Structure 1
C-alpha cells in the first residue's frame, strides 16, 4: 500500500523500532495527526490470550474521564415504563419488537451502541446475525444489558467504551481525539490500561500484553514500552 508524503514524513520523525514511554508516544502521535479532520487516537494491544477458550475471553467497559470526543448515538430496546425512562435519559432511539424488521430487512444501523433491558434480549437475540459481526450486541459484562437504562445511557454519553478481544486476540480501543490535550489523552490512557490490566484472565500462562501501539486515524503507529504499562 502506497502511503502519502505526510505519512512518510511522520514515519521519519521517530524510530519505528523503538518502544516509547506513554507521554512520549502520545506527544508523537498528536504531532503526526495532520489530517484535515480531528483524528481519533487509538490503542491496539496484542495479547497472549487465546480467545477460543471462554476463560481467556476479555470483554468489559470503562468510562474514560475525558470521553472519546465522539457523539455516540444510543438505541434502547425496552418496554413499558423503561421506554419512557430511556427517552428521559437522552437515548437517541427507543423501541421494541417493531425495530427488528427495520434493522433486519431495511439495514437500519444509524446507532453506535445498543442498550437492552433483560426482558428484551429474546427480541434482540433475533438480530444476532446482523448485530454480532458488527460488535453491536448488548452484553451484561459491558453493562449494556441492564434494568438501569438511565445509568447505562449516562455512562455511554459520558465516554464509556467497550474493550474486547478480536479474532486475532487483539484489543482495539479509542483513547480520544487528536484535539485533546496530552494530559487528557494520558488520563484516558491510564484509566483504560488500568481496566485492561485488571481484566487479565487468571488462567493465562505467559505474557499478557505482548505489544501495544498508539496511533492516529491516518498516522503511523508508535510502539509503547510494554513493561511500563502492565502491572
Structure 2
C-alpha cells in the first residue's frame, strides 16, 4: 500500500519499532493527526484470545469519561410505555415492526447504535442479516437489550462504546478525537484498557494483550508497551 506524503512525513516523528508508554504514545499520536478534519483516534488491541472458542470471546461496553467526540444516533425498538420512555430519554428514532421494511428493503441505516427491549428481539432478529455484519445487533452483554431504555440511551449519548473481537482476534475502538487534550485521550484509553483487562477470559493462556497500537484516522500507528498495560 502506497502512503501519501503527509503519512510518510508523520512516520518520521517517532520510531516504529519502539513500544512507548501511554502518555508518550498519546502525545505522538496527536502530532500524527495532520488531516484537515478532526481525526478520530483509534485503539487497535491484538489479543491472545481464540475467538473460535466460546469461552475466549470478548464482548462488552464501556463509557469513556470524555466521550468519543461524536454523538451517537440511537434507534430504539420498543412499544407503548417503553417507546414513550425512549422518546423522553432522547432516542433519535423509536419504532417497532414498521421499521423492518424500511431497514430491510430501503437500506435505511441512519443510526449508530440499536437498543431493544427484550420483548422486541423477535422483531429485531429478522434484521440479523442486515444489522449483524455491521455490528449493530443489540446484545445483552453490551447493555443494548434492556428494559431500562433510559439508562441505555443516556450512557450511549455520554460516550459508551462497544468492544468485541473481530475475526482476527483484534479489538478496534475509537478513544476520542485529535482535538482532545492529551489527558482526555489518556483517560479514555486507560478506561478502555481497564475494562478489557477485567473481562480477560480464564481460558486464555499466555499473553493476553499481544500488541496495542493507537492511531489517527489518516496516520500511522504508535505501539504501546503492553507490559505496562496488564
Give TM-score, length-normalised by structure 1: 0.99
Distance (whole Å) between structure 1 residues aligned to residue 192 and residue 204 of structure 2: 20
CA deviation after TM superposition for structure 1 residue 4, in Å: 1.2
Distance (whole Å) between structure 2 residues aligned to residue 79 and residue 103 of structure 1: 18
Query: What's the counterpart of residue 40 of structure 2?
Result: 40
Q: Please identify, of 136-145 and 3-12, the stretch whose mean Cα deviation from structure 2 is larger.
A: 3-12
Distance (whole Å) between structure 1 residues aligned to residue 133 and residue 60 of structure 2: 17
Query: Structure 2, unaligned stretches of length 5 or more?
Result: none
Query: What's the counterpart of residue 219 of structure 2?
Result: 219
Aligned pair 1:15/2:18, yes or no? no
CA deviation after TM superposition for structure 1 residue 97, in Å: 0.3
- In the alignment of these two chains, the number of paired residues is 230
Query: What's the counterpart of residue 194 of structure 2?
Result: 194
Query: What's the counterpart of residue 97 of structure 2?
Result: 97
Across the aligned residues of Structure 1 and Structure 2, the Cα RMSD in angstroms comes to 0.5
Runs of 4+ residues over 2 Å off in structure 1: none
CA deviation after TM superposition for structure 1 residue 71, in Å: 1.6
Query: What's the counterpart of residue 75 of structure 1?
Result: 75
CA deviation after TM superposition for structure 1 residue 179, in Å: 0.2
CA deviation after TM superposition for structure 1 residue 206, in Å: 1.1
Query: Structure 1, unaligned stretches of length 5 or more?
Result: none
Q: What is the DSSP-based 3-state SS (H/G/I as helix, E as strand, rest coil) of the residue aligned with 1:46?
A: strand
Distance (whole Å) between structure 2 residues aligned to residue 32 and residue 203 of structure 1: 37
CA deviation after TM superposition for structure 1 residue 64, in Å: 0.3
Encode CA deviations 1:20-56: one digit per residue, 9 max, x unaligned: 0010000000011010000000000111101011110
Matches within 5 A, 1:1-231: 1-230=1-230
